[in-house]
Chain A
Amino acid sequence: MSTVTDDKRKAPAGERVADWADGRLGIYSLAKANMRKIFPDHWSFMLGEIALYSFIIIILTGVYLTLFFHPSMNEVVYHGSYVPMQGIRMTEAYASTLEISFDVRGGLLIRQIHHWAALIFLAAMFVHMMRVFFTGAFRKPREINWLFGFLLFVLGMFTGFTGYSLPDDLLSGTGVRFTQGAILATPVVGTYISFFLFGGEFPGHDMVARFYSIHILLLPGIMLGLVVAHLILVFYHKHTQFAGPGRTNKNVVGMPLLPVYMAKAGGFFFLVFGVIAAIAGLFTINPVWALGPYRPDQVSTGAQPDWYMGFAEGLIRVMPGWEINLWGHTLALGVFIPLTLFGLVLVALAVYPFIESWVTGDKREHHILDRPRNAPTRTALGVAWITGYVIMLLGGGNDIFATHFHLSINSITWFVRISYFVGPVLAFVITRRICLGLQRRDKDKVLHGRESGIIKRLPHGEFVEVHEQLSRQELHTLTAHEQYAPAEIGPSVDENGVERKVTRGQKLRAKLSKGYYGEGNQIPKPTADEYKEITSGHGHH
């Protein structure tokens, strides 16, 4: 064995460090598999990155905030530098938020970055999820990663909620009260949950301290784990890609992690951070000093939660105040139904991949993304879901709309109530039609070529537009998508004439499958024969 001194050439320092690490961590094998890993490129793949980077920004700024924030509900009389609040009783939590905003240099900026990044984090996750949904990227083998992403979104909502409750200002306290009222509406256990969560009656003396540990430790800890798992799975499954020449279900085409993807993704982190920092410098978010500390007997008008809680707000606002009193118990349906719907709307997202894979019965891996038009029913369902979500989001701002547009709050409420049921149905029907129209157009393009804009006069005087044949690449791209045949229940007797048992599940599935893939619900893609007949028969005109 040779020792270092025997070596003719001394390895450069970097290599020696890497050698040292490899001897302990096996980094070379890791790098061999990943350093030149291929990543396909598409603008929509950046949405997840925005979410990831804003999460990192939130953690960085959050740690800074913990250095100054006092998570305590002890009451103090304020004597700090923000004059309008001097002499007012408030909790230490609120007082320290004022201090971060008015005494710590740069503290306000970090608070604003933290809050803006939280809003952007949730928005990015939401849009990223939509991207995954509409392109079918959730299909096998990525269902678990869909669930991880879903959990991140839901946990993000609650982390955000506990976060903006911490300053204990009038607005956030009102939000907490709202949550407590909703908890109370839970049958049987609601009152107990409320007392256990708040350490007694509302608001109690423990809320901020408890929300603090949930906000900075419990939820972010779980989320960090989920983010890591999410990314490991992305690496392990390799990224999906859109169909195109040379791109198949068995390969992944793009540019290597080192250097291109690393530079782009790394650069993109700085772009996101830069934009958020500038926004935080320019636009005030959550000016907690404007409204004063929380008091359960005071409120400001036009109170709004952060956007991601808006649809829950809408649900609770437009629900009629049904209440049942029976056998000495009260069932506050007017609050409990919105609470349940809030959960169901989210759960519908979580389980969708499993429903679709049950309907298709497809157990193969899918790495080629669908164009949304090529999965009309899925796309229409997605748009219907978003429509319902957005309608409730708007419902959450009914008072704002009423005052800004001079409408009656009563008519807005009724409008929201009705459109919550009608809107998604309409959206479903319209979206599916649009998808089918686009499919037809693709088919025409494949068979007849693209309109070139050149008008030609035929010998007998007729004018026709010259259609340009598509290239082989385009032909392939437009015909690469898979189309399912609807599942049949099959004959009710088997080949021996014995009656087959058809379960209710099978019937439902056949029905759904027809709804997804039956006649009229997708346009059969052009076949090679159709193409040849048209191109050879009519020539190119």
Chain B
Amino acid sequence: MSSQEIPEKNLPSEQDTAHGAVAVAEDPFADPGLPPHKPRVQDIDERAAKRSERTVALLFTLSMLSTIGFIASFVAFPVEKIVYVWPLGHVSALNLSLGVTLGLALFCIGAGAVHWARTLMSDVEVADDRHPIEADPVVKAKVMSDFAAGAEESAIGRRKLIRTTMFGALAMVPLSGVVLLRDLGPLPEEKLRHTLWGKGKQLINMNTNEPLRPEDVAVGSLTFAKPEGLEEDNHEFNNEIAKAALMIVRLQPQDIKDKRELDWSHQGIVAFSKICTHVGCPISLYEQQTHHVLCPCHQSTFDLSDGARVIFGPAGHALPQLRIGVNDEGFLEALGDFEEPVGPSFWERG
């Protein structure tokens, strides 16, 4: 937008009385110029100045003492020593003493310097002129003609072929950099759709590391499970548990409102993904009267007696259910993988 669009008269006129100018009698609001300097006590009373000097020196000395205190604390306090300090509670003696002494040592230098500046250094205000940031027309004209001369000498305007190919080359060469980023990670493919669960995989109790029997699942409690064969020392444990984590509850079959949920349960035992469908926190709270589970991250609430649909909070869809049954030895087992991807939504989820 050029300045022409807004008429000059809309712009306020500038107050441009130079500093120190004597006020024009007609204009009561004119700039009267810098007020005269008011001396401080220290400027007129050498005793006050001496006092300030001593204060500054005292602060600097305190700083030195604090540094000595810091070194002494470092040597004196064993790193594991815990002390009770009111009102902080039980804290590390070393950390506390190092922090306080270092803080003091630094603070006193600062306080000394500021006090020195405020009481003893000249506080006469001075004015400096400003100069426009914009170059004046002569300078601008010179730059323009220099640039034109340079461009002309390079012949970049005339030799179109050079220009075009150069831009082409410069535009293409960063592609190599982009290509190099390809191996930052594998392609998603179907990875988010599959978990370690599958037909016949037993449900292993997360706490005891033992396979679960239906009788182990008590009414009113939330049991966490992982698929058989996934051990904590497995290299991929975190990646796998991030998808496979399962929560199990026992409901009264007649309380289950959702038809499919009932079909996929075993004697009222239902298994749902523990990973919140909002942005993926693990769900951890269970309210047994209502059969609601709550995600502690953003409070999405799911109704486990009704297909784990969302009844509150920012999650966008129900928790996926795992179909379970009992194997010949009487242990709970999965009857397949989750039928839909677990965890947060993503574009390809569908």
Interface residues of A (CB under 8 A from B): 37-38, 75, 81, 89, 102-106, 108-109, 112, 141, 174, 177-178, 180-182, 184-192, 194-204, 236-238, 243, 245-256, 259-260, 263-264, 266-284, 294-303, 316-323, 325, 328-335, 358, 360-365, 367, 398-399, 409-410, 413, 446, 472-473, 475-476, 479-480, 482-488, 506, 526, 528, 531-532, 535
Contacts and interface: CB of A to CB of B under 8 A. Distances in A.
Contacts of B184: 196-197, 199
A472 B102 CA distance: 49
Interface stretch (B92-100, B143-151, B197-205): B92-100
A251 B32 contact: no
Given A198-B185, A203-B242, A321-B315, 12 more contacts: A195-B185, A253-B128, A263-B117, A274-B105, A280-B99, A281-B100, A281-B103, A335-B345, A361-B5, A483-B12, A487-B10, A488-B10
B103 A278 contact: yes
A181 B350 contact: no
Contacts of B232: 89
10 contacts: A185-B346, A246-B20, A248-B31, A252-B127, A253-B126, A253-B127, A264-B113, A281-B97, A303-B296, A476-B30
Contacts of A89: 232-233
A81 B82 CA distance: 13
B27 interface: yes
B192 A191 contact: yes
B299 A399 contact: yes
A320 to B, nearest CB: 7
B189 to A, nearest CB: 9
Instruction: Determine chain B's interface SS by DSSP, over half rule.
Output: loop
Contacts of B160: none
B314 interface: yes
A358 B5 CA distance: 10
Contacts of A187: 347
B278 A334 contact: yes
Contacts of B187: 192, 195
A330 B346 contact: yes
Interface string B256-287: 00000000000000000011001111101100
A248 B74 CA distance: 54
A377 to B, nearest CB: 15
A192 B107 contact: no
B313 interface: yes
B338 interface: no
B11 A364 contact: yes
A487 to B, nearest CB: 5
B100 A278 contact: yes
Contact of A299 (B1, B134, B284, B350): B284
A167 B27 CA distance: 66
Nearest to B34: A246
A318 B6 CA distance: 43
B253 to A, nearest CB: 28
Contacts of A358: 1
A304 B296 CA distance: 11
Interface residues on B, range: 35 or more
Given A177-B281, A238-B130, A320-B314, A482 B125 contact: no
B29 A181 contact: no
Top 4 A-B pairs, shortest CB-CB distance: A281-B99, A181-B279, A361-B6, A267-B113
A465 B74 CA distance: 66
Contacts of B20: 246
Contacts of A320: 314
B126 A38 contact: yes
Contacts of B296: 299-303, 399
Given A201-B192, A238-B128, A475-B28, A178 B111 contact: no
B327 interface: no
Interface in B128-147: 128-130, 132-134
B242 A201 contact: yes
A250 B19 CA distance: 9
Given A296-B238, A485-B9, A321 B88 contact: no
B112 interface: yes
Contacts of B11: 360-362, 364, 484
Contacts of A81: 79-80
Contacts of B185: 195-200, 204
B281 to A, nearest CB: 5
Nearest to A262: B117
Given A195-B187, A196-B181, A278-B107, A266 B19 contact: no
Interface string B19-43: 1100100111111111100000000
B1 A191 contact: no
B126 A254 contact: yes
B114 A267 contact: yes
A486 B26 contact: no
B310 to A, nearest CB: 6
A358 B27 CA distance: 32
Interface centre among B15, B27, B282 (most CB of A within 10 A): B15
A306 to B, nearest CB: 16
Contacts of A271: 106-107, 110-111, 114
